[in-house]
């Protein structure tokens, strides 16, 4: 048990009162609609977490109209950090950010037991919600039954709301649609971050959960407009680490129904987004951050920096679309 503390409900605080999952979902609710960068973790030359540079990045992100930040996601090199580093990064982000910015922290581990533990620690560090990725090492056994049991146990015990995270490009496992629909009924499961890019699936999730308070976030800037078209409420986009304001503008255009302007902007974001995600990954994101005035720095081993040819291709992907 975490004991009595200030339980954060986005937009309000109930001090000294433990808000149950049922109250959180049915009473106040947590609105996760909007844009989030899944922030990178800056490292020093010796691969230690560089907290001063993290703080400088956070000060800049606080000036962008994001709904909040995702901390310790895939782009934060979460699998390469120790448990203490993961928690300390979240603690520092929460302390640095304005109170009206939501902090969603990655807490997924391979075992249910470890995920429950990490979720409690992330809540204790100040996370407003947790993002829980599918366990995947034994992916052949991770059928709907196993995953429903896993996420239910995590949500039952979590002090803060849970967002499901499906990222098949990294895990080799997509959270099955029937499992999502079943889990959407849980009072402490708020929504889904879907990074698969299948717009038909995203539309089906929205359709099949339309009677519930369940919110879907697109997991990439490359299909953000399309996801809005079928009912998503926002996005967690790696590209927002470098092009945060244009992505917030795309969000604004979609929400206001200005689809022609949104289409033009979306098209300009597709190539640079692909470069820092599926094509070149986190090393490219960190390189692009340096170009745009943020601290990206090195990756933690075994991730390697870009080759010269890759860096040149990355620059072309940004410059040919008018961003550099």
Q: Cα angle at 277 between 64 and 70, to 5 degrees?
A: 40
Q: Which is catalytic among the residues 193, 208, 210, 279?
A: 193
pLDDT score of 29: 74
Comparing CA positions, the residue from 220, 224, 242 lying closest to residue 317 is 242
What whole-number distance in Å separates Cα of residue 253 and Cα of residue 320? 23
What whole-number distance in Å separates Cα of residue 139 and Cα of residue 146? 10
Cβ atoms 42, 297 nearer than 8 A: yes
CA 228 centroid distance within chain:
17
Hey, which residues does 189 pair with through a beta bridge?
162
pLDDT score of 18: 40
Say whether 157 sits in a helix, a strand or coil: helix
Strands (E), the chain: 7-9, 12-14, 34-36, 68-71, 102-106, 129-133, 162-166, 189-194, 215-218, 234-236
Q: Is the pTM of this model over 0.75?
A: yes
> Is residue 11 left, alpha or beta, with left meaning phi > 0 and alpha meaning psi from -120 to 50?
left
Instruction: Average pLDDT across each block of 10 residues of the chain; the chain has 324 residues. List them in order.
Output: 31 35 49 98 97 98 97 96 98 96 98 98 98 97 98 98 96 96 98 97 98 96 98 98 98 98 98 97 98 96 97 98 97
CA 255 centroid distance within chain:
20
Print burial letters for 31-59: b (CB count within 10 Å at least 16), e (below 16).
ebebbbbbbbbbbeeeeebbeebbeebbe
Can you list the domains of the chain with their CATH numbers?
7-256 (3.20.20.70)
pLDDT score of 263: 98
Reply yes or no on whether 193 is catalytic.
yes
Say whether 132 sits in a helix, a strand or coil: strand
| HSE-up of residue 46 (Cα within 13 Å, Cβ side) | 1
What whole-number distance in Å separates Cα of residue 150 and Cα of residue 146? 6
């Amino acid at each position: 048990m975490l004991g009595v503390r200030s339980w954060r409900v986005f937009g309000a605080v109930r001090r000294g009162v433990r808000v149950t999952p049922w109250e959180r979902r049915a009473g106040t609710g947590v609105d996760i609609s909007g844009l989030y960068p899944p922030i990178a973790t800056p490292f020093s030359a010796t691969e230690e977490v560089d907290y001063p540079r993290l703080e400088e990045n956070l000060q800049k992100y606080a000036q962008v109209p994001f709904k909040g930040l995702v901390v310790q996601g895939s782009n934060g090199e979460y699998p390469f950090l120790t448990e203490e580093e993961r928690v300390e990064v979240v603690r520092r982000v929460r302390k640095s950010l304005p109170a009206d910015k939501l902090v969603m922290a990655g807490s997924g581990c391979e075992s249910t037991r470890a995920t429950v533990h990490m979720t409690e620690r992330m809540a204790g560090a100040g996370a407003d919600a947790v993002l829980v990725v599918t366990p995947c090492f034994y992916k052949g056994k991770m059928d709907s039954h196993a995953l429903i049991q896993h996420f239910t146990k995590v949500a039952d015990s979590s002090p803060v709301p849970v967002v499901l995270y499906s990222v098949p490009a990294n895990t080799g496992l997509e959270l099955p649609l029937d499992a999502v629909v079943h889990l959407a009924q849980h009072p402490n499961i708020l929504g889904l971050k879907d990074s698969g890019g299948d717009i038909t699936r995203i539309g089906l999730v929205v359709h099949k959960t339309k009677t519930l308070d369940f919110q879907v976030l697109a997991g990439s800037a490359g299909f953000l407009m399309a996801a809005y078209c079928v009912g998503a409420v926002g996005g967690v986009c790696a590209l927002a680490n470098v092009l945060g304001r244009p992505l917030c503008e795309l969000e604004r255009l979609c929400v206001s129904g200005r689809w022609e302007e949104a289409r033009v902007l979306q098209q300009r974001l597709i190539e640079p987004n692909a470069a820092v995600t599926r094509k070149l990954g986190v090393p490219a994101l960190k390189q692009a951050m340096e170009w745009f005035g943020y601290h990206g720095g090195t990756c933690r081993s075994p991730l390697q920096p870009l080759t010269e040819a890759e860096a040149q291709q990355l620059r072309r992907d940004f410059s040919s679309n008018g961003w550099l």
